[in-house]
Structure 1
Amino acid sequence: MMAFEGKIILITGASRGIGAATALLAASRGYHVCVNYVKNEVAANAIVKKIEDIGGKAFAYQADVGDEAQVKEMFRQIDIKLGPVTALVNNAGTLELQSRVEGISNERFLRTLKNNILGTFLCSKEAIARMSTRNGGNGGNIVNVSSIGAKTGSPGEYVDYASSKGAIDSFTVGLSKEVAPEGIRVNAVRPGFIYTDIHESGGEAGRIDRIKSTIPMLRGGNPEEVASAILWLLSDEASYTTGTFIDIAGGR
């Protein structure tokens, strides 16, 4: 695959859910896409196939974004196959079984922080090295996928997950101010109550249907609704927007 001069995007955790929907929408908007995944190669390749079927360009790449060496090699491969990234969506993250705080082990808490925070940090570092005008780049965009849990705290269910997403919010604000003079915009979305299989990881696949009566819009959201917000933040329509958040949680 030859390097492509244009819009090049890396989406972490793009084999399913919000990441997959974002990859497909980005491809339809002219991006060449790196579909990052950590386990499900079949699902990642299926997304690549869907992109190719609509005339887009994509490749799947396996990497644990919490591992610095793997992240560096992933960006090196993107440089070779597509060219330097112009957009990054930090979407990869994990959710563990619903639990009160006293039932969360130290190991689980640290695992959640590593999976949900460190990957965003490492990928952002590599992207900035390529995007920043300070480094000879042409600018770019980063969108972090936080969670409405950063605001609600997810009591009785996922306080560890919510805490990790609160850190993502702080990281988004700080980084946006740091790199704004260098042609890079950094924003975030806070999804909540979206129909994805992440709820199976939490031990309750039907969670959205159980709680949708408590959501002002009385329904759960779809991954495509989150993807649309992400693509808006990446677009020139949001050219004067940085360090901001879009809540996509039906009014909660």
Structure 2
Amino acid sequence: MGGSETDIPPQQQEWPGRTDAMEPRPDHGESSYVGRDRLTGKRALVTGGDSGIGRATAIAFAKEGADVAISFLPEEQGDAEETRRAVEAAGRRCLVLPTDQRTEEANRDLAGAALEGLGGIDVLVSNAAFQMGRQTGIENFTDSQLRQVFETNVFATFWLVKAVAPHLGAGASIAITTSIQAYDPSQPLLDYAATKAALNNLMVNLAAELGPRGIRVNAVAPGPIWTPLIPSTFDAEKVASFGADTPLGRAGQPVEVASAFVFLASDDASYVSGTVVGVTGGRAVF
């Protein structure tokens, strides 16, 4: 896993982006991740599980012994099928649940389908997100973009946790993907950064509310990670320098973030709740 400086050539895609069009191909842990039976028998729902961090987390969970349900936008079905194949290659079940999470009803339906298909949920990873980083200046942020960013990133997380929480037992884990942007926001990601700061706050409050029931709630804050979101939401010049401003001098790979989600979902983190784990290449998360 990991490695030295990543050479990323200039490239750009239409949103939401495709893994097979990326150069170099991201490392989701298909070969590099080695499981240690830390999630044996657990059942996990991972949103945004078609590609990037979500795919890597689903694969790592499977290699650790968990059955997995993934959600994704319907237009991302091709990538989702690749995730399913990788999970099944690890010997675990994978439910594929295409869902646009921008309504409360969609999240209730998603929770119901995952609960029924898996027979319950022990781990929830709210990872699906939207960003668009090709403009600067508040006057250039359209109402439709603002709504899409907040509905996808914040509202969907709130609604999904609301739907799933009543079905979680003691020892269950919720993990939310936030971002380095919550601590060190970039101007072109003004709206996205605001949602990630909101999610950090939501996580702390959920940890306080659900803790007495034995449910742990945490967040993972990635830095620059090489996923389809990057070439589909940044211009080619930005993509070519992606991650170079970190102390480690490179972009991270999705598998490097998945390891943090494995830890938080496992019994190794039995006394970890209400905190943010940074996977940022050395940039500070405080």
- Scaled by the length of structure 1, the TM-score of the pair is 0.91
> How far apart in 1 are the matches of 2:53 and 2:280?
13
Moved more, 85-94 or 51-60: 51-60
Indicate which of 96, 99, 105 corresponds to 1:69: 105
Indicate which of 78, 86, 92 corresponds to 1:56: 92
4+ residue runs over 6 A deviation: none
Indicate which of 135, 138, 142 corresponds to 1:99: 135
Name the aligned partner's letter for residue 16 of structure 1: S
Indicate which of 131, 140, 151 corresponds to 1:114: 151
Unaligned residue ranges in structure 2 (runs of 5+): 1-39
Q: Is residue 2:188 matched to residue 1:153? A: no
1:227: Cα distance to partner?
A: 0.3
> How far apart in 1 are the matches of 2:223 and 2:280?
4
> How far apart in 1 are the matches of 2:254 and 2:82?
17
TM-superposition CA deviations, 1:202-243 (whole Å, max 9, x none): 233563541544211111111001000111011111111100
How big is the alpha-carbon RMSD for the aligned residues of Structure 1 and Structure 2? 1.6
Moved more, 48-57 or 200-209: 200-209
Q: Is residue 2:41 matched to residue 1:10? A: no
Instruction: Note closer, same or farther for the CA distance 1:153–1:97 as it changes in structure 2 (3 Å cut).
Output: closer
- Structure with the largest fraction of helix: 1
Contact 2:216 2:273 in 1 (8 A): yes
- Scaled by the length of structure 2, the TM-score of the pair is 0.81
Q: Is residue 2:31 matched to residue 1:31? A: no
Q: Is residue 2:248 matched to residue 1:217? A: yes
Indicate which of 215, 234, 247 corresponds to 1:203: 234
Which fold has the larger relative contact order, with Cα–Cα distance below 8 Å and residues 6 or more apart in sequence? 2
> How far apart in 2 are the matches of 1:205 and 1:19?
24
Instruction: Note closer, same or farther for the CA distance 1:15–1:103 as it changes in structure 2 (3 Å cut).
Output: same
Unaligned residue ranges in structure 1 (runs of 5+): 132-136
Instruction: Note closer, same or farther for the CA distance 1:211–1:57 as it changes in structure 2 (3 Å cut).
Output: closer
Moved more, 212-221 or 82-91: 212-221
> How far apart in 1 are the matches of 2:176 and 2:117?
24
% same residue:
33
Name the aligned partner's letter for residue 108 of structure 2: K
Instruction: Note closer, same or farther for the CA distance 1:102–1:59 as it changes in structure 2 (3 Å cut).
Output: same
